[in-house]
Amino acid sequence: MDTHDLAGPAGLADLATRARAELVREIEASGAWDADPAWREAFEAVPRHLFVPYYYVGVRGGFERLWGEDPDCRRRERWLRGAYADAPLATRVRDGELISSSSQPSLMAKMLVELEIDEDHAVLEIGAGTGYNAALLAHRIGDALVTTVDLDSEITESARRHLESAGHRPTVVTGDGARGVPERAPFDRIMATCTMNSVPRPWLAQCRPGARILAPLATGLIALRVRDAGHAEGRFLQTPAYFVPLRGATGPGPEPQHLGGLPSRATSHERFRFLLTLTAGNLDPHDAYALWQREEEPGRERYGITVSDERVWAWLDDPEGPYAWPLP
């Protein structure tokens, strides 16, 4: 398609259709929804560009804004093609800090599959973002079963507008996601799209027995099964995951900074950085390195989390084993 053909809505709509089809093929090739190919239909149907009317790309010294109403048709094409790239998009920047984004679509697809959703499940999403993930959920199970929450009223208002433009009206709530949304409980699934440093206990109280919780934590994805309001347990997936931190009651803690004397191979190794982040404040980095070596550089899937009435802790291999660390 020639660039001048993009001057009108018809040209952009045609490019969006073709770009969305290419994104679907790319996600399929990644194997993200092999276990539940029904998610393909949602990604085919929901137009991502409606949820990112503008976004930011990193440039030297800051960010460049791309938007769909740019008078330059070449920049409009660049915006639209970027909207359908299998990449995260920075959608809200405040004082030079990224506070909201649209996640990488193939990672979103994998997370949605890992939720193990049935058609009658009520789902709570922590972190409304652009509304795109809520739209994918609503396409699959219906608006009435989807609730999404975010602390920032500007984010929830824009997410609501984006959802309506795509023909969806799930429940959008402004509030602290760490507290859940008790007035919409009980939930069968809770999915966080922002990084945590622990698992908030109010979530368990708002879940039905047998519910599944999926949340980014320490550069990984923890999948918990809820037994009741006082107990949940599960392991991390193998998949790395990097998200904007949750703002509010349970934001992430810092990584340890004192890594002097450790081999550069360890300090730059993704698996070791995961262990450092998971145990930050509870395990000296040099002790963490000794453990990492002794246990033959364990991957994320060997770690897990248990939530009980008394405490929340992370562990390696066995929740009652010798390697366990408290979480906030």
Q: Residue 224: is its pLDDT beyond 90?
A: yes
SS3 192: strand
Q: Are residues 230 and 268 in the same domain?
A: no
The percent of residues in the chain predicted with pLDDT above 70, rounded, is 93
- Give the separation between CA 246 and CA 155, rounded to whole angstroms: 13
pLDDT band at 140 (very low <50, low <70, confident <90, very high): very high
Residues 6 or more apart in contact with residue 322 via CB below 8 angstroms: none
Reduced 3-state DSSP string for 278-323: HCCCCCCHHHHHHHHHHCCCCCHHHEEEEECCCCEEEEECCCCCCC
pLDDT given for residue 62 in this prediction: 76
SS3 270: helix
Instruction: Please say if 158 is a catalytic residue.
Output: no
Alpha carbon separation from 49 to 199, 207, 230 (Å, rounded):
32, 33, 41
| Domain total in the chain | 2
Q: Are residues 273 and 229 in the same domain?
A: no
Residue 63: Cβ within 10 Å count: 14
Provide the whole-model pTM: 0.91
Q: Tens digit of pLDDT for each residue in 47-104?
A: 999 999 999 988 777 788 999 999 999 999 999 999 999 999 999 888 777 778 899 9
CATH number of the CATH domain containing 169: 3.40.50.150
Q: Are residues 216 and 273 in the same domain?
A: no
pLDDT given for residue 258 in this prediction: 62
Reduced 3-state DSSP string for 85-131: CCCCEEEEEECCEEEEEECCHHHHHHHHHHCCCCCCCCEEEECCCCC
Q: Are residues 71 and 168 in the same domain?
A: yes
Q: Are residues 135 and 171 in the same domain?
A: yes
Q: Are residues 154 and 91 in the same domain?
A: yes
pLDDT given for residue 123 in this prediction: 98
Q: Are residues 138 and 41 in the same domain?
A: yes
- Give the separation between CA 219 and CA 273, rounded to whole angstroms: 9
Q: What is the mean pLDDT of residues 97-117?
A: 92
Residue 244 lies in a domain: no
Residue 258 lies in a domain: no
Structure tokens at 10: 């018809």
Q: Are residues 48 and 119 in the same domain?
A: yes
For 147, counting Cβ atoms within 10 Å of its Cβ (0-12 exposed, 13-18 middle, 19+ buried), the class is: buried
Q: Are 211 and 189 in contact (CB under 8 A)?
A: yes
- Helix then strand count (H, E) for the chain reads 10, 14
Give the containing element (helix H, strand E) for 19: helix 9-30
- Residues, the chain: 328
Torsion sign over Cα 51, 196, 122, 33: positive
Residue 209 lies in a domain: yes
pLDDT given for residue 2 in this prediction: 47
- Domain boundary among the residues 236, 254, 285 is at 236
Q: Which domain holds residue 318?
A: 264-326
Q: Are residues 31 and 128 in the same domain?
A: yes
Of the residues 30, 100, 102, 268, only one is catalytic, namely 100
- Domain boundary among the residues 192, 220, 236 is at 236
Q: Are residues 223 and 294 in the same domain?
A: no
Q: Are residues 168 and 214 in the same domain?
A: yes
Residue 201 lies in a domain: yes
Residue 219 lies in a domain: yes
- Give the separation between CA 43 and CA 201, rounded to whole angstroms: 32
Q: Are 182 and 176 in contact (CB under 8 A)?
A: no
- Domain boundary among the residues 220, 236, 252 is at 236
Q: Tens digit of pLDDT for each residue in 162-221?
A: 999 999 999 999 999 999 999 999 999 999 999 998 999 999 999 999 999 999 999 999
Residue 29: Cβ within 10 Å count: 10
Residue 248 lies in a domain: no
Q: Are residues 156 and 274 in the same domain?
A: no
Residue 251 lies in a domain: no
For 240, counting Cβ atoms within 10 Å of its Cβ (0-12 exposed, 13-18 middle, 19+ buried), the class is: middle
Phi, psi angle pair for 252, to nearest 5°: -75, 150
Residue 42 lies in a domain: yes
SS3 209: strand
Between residues 231 and 5, the one the model is more confident about: 231
